[in-house]
Amino acid sequence: MGLSSMRVRTQNGPSDLRAIWWEDDVVKAIDQRLLPERLEIVAIKTYEEMAEAISDMTVRGAPSIGAAGAYGMALAWQSGVDLVGASRVLKATRPTAHDLFHAIDRMLSIGDGLVEAAKGYADSIAEKCRLIGEAGNSLIEDGMKILTHCNAGALATVDFGTALAPIRVAHRSGKKIFVFVDETRPRFQGAKLTAWEMVNEGINHAVIADNAAGYYLRSEVDLVIVGADRVAMNGDFANKIGTYEKAVLARENGVPFYVAAPVSTFDPSLRSGDGIVIEQRSPDEVLIVNGVRIAPAESAALNPAFDVTPAKYVSGFITETGVLAPDELAKMLAE
Ligand code: MRU
């Protein structure tokens, strides 16, 4: 499985895990739907099961679903299934994260030996996230209070994280930091997953209601770091719904706002964020909380999973190649 950095407490004591990996001819993944109550590992044996695991968010987060797409192609290759057909099924799962399409196209272009190729892809994502952690750590000073949205941690990215990687590195290097964790309605990836990673890593944090972010941005937050699901060439980017309003509030209050993402999240075919397809998810995610309907039976709900933040609100992108201003992206990708 390779080196991993996500420290978790299992029944057998502390262990280092990745979000997803290959083991004994199948793919193993943390079932992210069950955290933080239960840590369960699922075995995914076919590409159809992988498509289901991506759709139902057993595996989630842009770089992790990229790895899932690569591993899904490896499962298809291993059982002699038509790769183009499998790629269509895997690509039809979730529309917004660029990593999924990038990874599947990579596997299609390789065409053979896909188990080793997919393992290599996942390892390379983990290494890129480690480098993002090193680069982003330079932005974090001792004593800083940092706000993050959704979960761009190891769970979302195979290992280390994107937004959470610099936070992890800063903490491990002895900096005293505090993290405001947006709960991230409607699926609570912040409250459930980011907080779980913070607890495992021993990082000081508090979960805040999404509506409280403005209150803290106005008073206490020194730095915002978020992840991304797709970045256009002009620096507009899609991330979990609610990111846009955090970016505007950060600008209004003079708080630096950084986006951490590997190059696999950047879409060279998009000139601006206008072309990003936003996934619309089930109204039930908004209307039903812990099995209880919270709105009148007659009420409908709208549930866009992502929003697009214009590049003008971004202080910089933290990538595996370093920290870049939005207007440096196109040049970096051309290289
Ligand atoms: O819908 P999800 O949970 O798969 O959303 C993706 C995300 O986790 C976030 O938008 C994240 O900030 C970017 S992925 C590292």
Q: What would the DSSP string read from start to end of 185-239?
A: TTTTHIIIIIHHHHHHHT--EEEE-GGGHHHHHHHT--EEEE--SEE-TTS-EEE
Task: Please give all residues whose beta carbon lies within 6 A of any atom in ligand 1, as ranges.
Answer: 60-63, 150-152, 156-157, 162, 189, 226-229, 239-240, 305
* pLDDT confidence of residue 10: 66
Q: What is residue 9's predicted lDDT score, i.e. its pLDDT? A: 66
Per-residue model confidence (pLDDT) at position 1: 33
The per-residue pLDDT of the chain, averaged, comes to: 95
Q: Which of 182, 229, 236, 267 is catalytic?
A: 229
Q: Over the Cα atoms of the chain, what is R_g?
A: 19
Which numbered atom of ligand 1 lies nearest the CA of 227? 12
Index of the ligand 1 atom closest to the CA of residue 187: 3
CB 52 within 8 A of CB 37: no
Q: What are phi and psi of 260, to 5 degrees?
A: -105, 125
Per-residue pLDDT, averaged over 185-193, amounts to 98
Task: Give the pLDDT score at 196.
Answer: 97
d(CA 70, CA 157): 13
Atom of ligand 1 nearest to the CA of 65: 4
CA-nearest residue for atom 2, ligand 1, is: 61
Confidence band, pLDDT 50/70/90 cuts, at residue 146: very high
pLDDT band at 331 (very low <50, low <70, confident <90, very high): confident
Ligand 1 atom with the smallest distance to the CA of 152 is: 15
- Ligand 1 probe mutation, 151, 244, 317, most atoms within 8 A of CB: 151
How many A from CA of 165 to the centre of ligand 1?
14
- DSSP for 45-113 reads -SHHHHHHHHHTTSS-SHHHHHHHHHHHHHHHHHTT--HHHHHHHHHTS-SS-HHHHHHHHHHHHH-S-
Q: How far is the CA of 216 from the centre of ligand 1 (A)?
A: 22
Confidence (pLDDT) at 138 = 97
Ligand 1 geometric centre to CA of 180 (Å): 17
In the predicted model, what is the mean pLDDT of residues 259-277?
96
pLDDT higher than threshold 70 for residue 262 = yes
At which residue do the structure tokens 């529309």 appear? 95
Distance between CA atoms of residues 322 and 317, nearest Å: 8
pTM of the full structure: 0.95
Asked whether the predicted pLDDT for residue 324 surpasses 70, the reply is: yes
The pLDDT score that the predictor gives to residue 175 is: 98
Q: In this model, does residue 38 exceed pLDDT 90?
A: yes
Residue pLDDT, tens place only, 99-114? 999 999 999 999 999 9
Ligand 1, atom nearest to 162 Cα: 15
11 vs 167, which has greater pLDDT? 167
User: pLDDT: is 6 or 227 the higher one?
Assistant: 227
Per-residue pLDDT band for 13 (boundaries 50, 70, 90) equals low
Cα 332 to Cα 319: distance, rounded to the nearest angstrom: 10
Tell me what the mean pLDDT of segment 284-301 comes to. Answer: 97
pLDDT tens, position by position, 196-212: 999 999 999 999 999 99
Q: How far is the CA of 110 from the centre of ligand 1 (A)?
A: 27
What local confidence, expressed as pLDDT, does residue 58 receive? 98
CA of 86 to the centre of ligand 1 (A): 24
Confidence of residue 2 (pLDDT cuts 50, 70, 90): very low
pLDDT of residue 308: 98
Task: Write the residue with the smallest CA distance to atom 12 of ligand 1.
Answer: 227
pLDDT (tens digit per residue) in 60-88:
999 999 999 999 999 999 999 999 999 99
3-class secondary structure, 324: strand
229 is annotated as an active-site residue? yes
Out of 189, 196, 224, mutate this one to test ligand 1's pocket (max ligand atoms within 8 Å of CB): namely 189
Nearest protein CA to atom 7 of ligand 1, as residue: 61
Instruction: Please give the pLDDT value at position 3.
Output: 42
Whole-number percent of the chain with pLDDT over 90: 92
Q: In this predicted structure, what is the pLDDT of residue 326?
A: 86
Q: Is 251 helix (H, G, I), strand (E, B) or coil?
A: helix
**Is 76 within 8 Å of 86 (Cβ atoms)?**
yes
Task: Reply yes or no on whether the pLDDT at 12 is more than 80.
Answer: no
